[in-house]
Amino acid sequence: MDLLIILTYVALAWSVFKIFKIPVNKWTLPTAALGGVILVGGLILLMNYNHPYTSLAQKAVIAIPITPQVTGVVKRVTEKQNQPIKKGEMLFELDNTRFQARVDRLEADLVTAVHNIRSIRGQLEEAIANTSYVSAERDRLLQDYQRYLKGSKAKVNPFSERDIDNARQNFLGQDALVKSSVAEQAQIKSQLESVVNGEQSQIVSLRAQLAEARYNLEQTVVRAPGDGYVTQVLIRPGTYAAALPLRPVMIFIPAQKRQIIAQFRENSLLRLEAGDLAEAVFNALPGQVFEGRLVTVLPVIPGGSYQAQGTLQSLNNVNAANGVLAIIELKANPEVDALPDGISGQVAIYSDHFSHVSVMRKVLLRMTSWMHYLYLDH
């Protein structure tokens, strides 16, 4: 852009010399050259300082890598690739035979567990009745044993030692049956009293497993997380898709407000303020200029970010990476929306300082846009 200003001045000076027939000598030529250096240099310094420009700009979007939540073989893939797609539409489907089988098995196990609980309640009632029966029998045998003991203390003992011993053994055996029945009853009660949130723990566990299995079954159909489009679809029916976060199978671009990310020189921070007027031009749209506003300047420079490593970290001060990133929001325009995401362009920011100099920047930006007809690289 500086070259455009210099060439413009040279053209004007040449025109002045020709129109006014100014002789070219040792006074006029150095005066024109020196005047040009002062004038053009001053204008360039004022313009660059107060109205920053960058050729490093992109139409940027946030992309969502799509990774399946479960692992399986791809059964179907959407045909809407690089086309608008609605939230909830199918992106791809995995073979669900294994997941459906697990759901069916857990549903059967849950039904069995519910019936088992009913059966256990019946067993408890039976154990309670049995405890009552053996307890009554024990009490009867205890009375018999006490009667035998009382008779053995009489002057004339009508019972033999064997009768007394048999009565004692019968009582002790029945007492053991009572204790066994009580223990069985307590064991059954413990199973029924294992409750979580008012429901038997085994059933709660099966319901949780069934809910997880149903969730995994639903995840065999991967759906669009929102309105947008899907691109770089790298799977086909028969592909083995793994639930690994580092192995996405496609990229989803959600519908979002179109923004421009531009990288400016670090000293441009002196004049970059949120809300400043901005203009952008794109290589793909020669001769057109699009207005917008500077939204914010990112608080970090990519080259200055570090991560913990096993070795000492050196400076990431690479000249090509030096620069502050700014987000520019353009006014709604169907031509900009139709551009491929990630396309490059050039951006100028107009501050409130020396606003009359911004006219020159605007002219130069439009000249840059016209030069895009020539397929020149910037």
> Residues 193, 341: one domain?
no
**Quick one: which of 100, 114, 108, 103 has its CA closest to 210?**
103
- Do 208 and 180 sit in the same domain of this protein? yes
**Residue range of the domain that includes 374:** 52-61+256-304+319-378
Reading the block at residue 323, the tokens are 């620069």
The CATH number assigned to the domain holding 232 equals 2.40.50.100
Domain match, 116 and 197 both: yes
- What is the 8-class DSSP label of residue 321? G
118 and 229 within one domain: no
- Indicate if 200 and 103 belong to the same structural domain: yes
DSSP assignments along 185-240, one per residue: HHHHHHHHH-EETTEEHHHHHHHHHHHHHHHHHHTTEEE-SSSEEEE-----TT-E
Residues 6+ positions from 297 with CB-CB distance below 8 Å:
269, 272, 274, 324, 325, 326, 327
Angstrom CA distances, 338 to 37, 79, 132, 284, 341, stand at 43, 21, 85, 11, 9
Residue 312 lies in a domain: no
Residues 91 and 228 in one domain: yes
Domain count, the chain: 4
Q: Do 359 and 371 lie in a common domain?
A: yes
Residues 89, 102, single domain; the answer is: no
Which residue type occupies 21?
K
Domain end call among 187, 215, 243: 215
Nearest to 202 by CA among 126, 119, 122, 124: 119
Q: Name 296's Cβ contacts closer than 8 Å, sequence gap at least 6.
A: 274, 326, 327
In a domain, 314, yes or no: no
| Residues 259, 329 contacting (CB under 8 angstroms) | yes
Per-residue pLDDT of the chain (378 residues; tens, 9 = 90+): 567 667 777 788 788 777 877 787 777 777 777 877 787 777 778 888 889 999 999 998 889 999 999 999 999 999 998 889 999 999 999 999 999 999 999 999 888 877 776 776 666 676 677 777 777 777 777 776 677 667 666 665 665 667 667 777 777 777 788 787 777 777 666 666 555 555 667 788 888 999 999 999 999 999 999 999 998 898 999 999 988 888 889 999 998 887 899 999 888 888 888 999 999 999 889 989 999 999 999 888 877 777 777 787 777 665 555 689 999 999 888 888 888 888 889 999 999 888 888 888 888 898 888 888 886 554
In whole angstroms, how far apart are CA 77 and each of 98, 230, 239? 19, 11, 10
Q: Is residue 263 part of a domain?
A: yes
Together in a domain, 169 and 285: no
142 and 204 fall within a common domain? yes
Strand-pair partners of 196: 199
What is the C-alpha separation between 127 and 133, in angstroms, rounded?
10
User: Do 270 and 356 reside in the same domain of the chain?
Assistant: yes
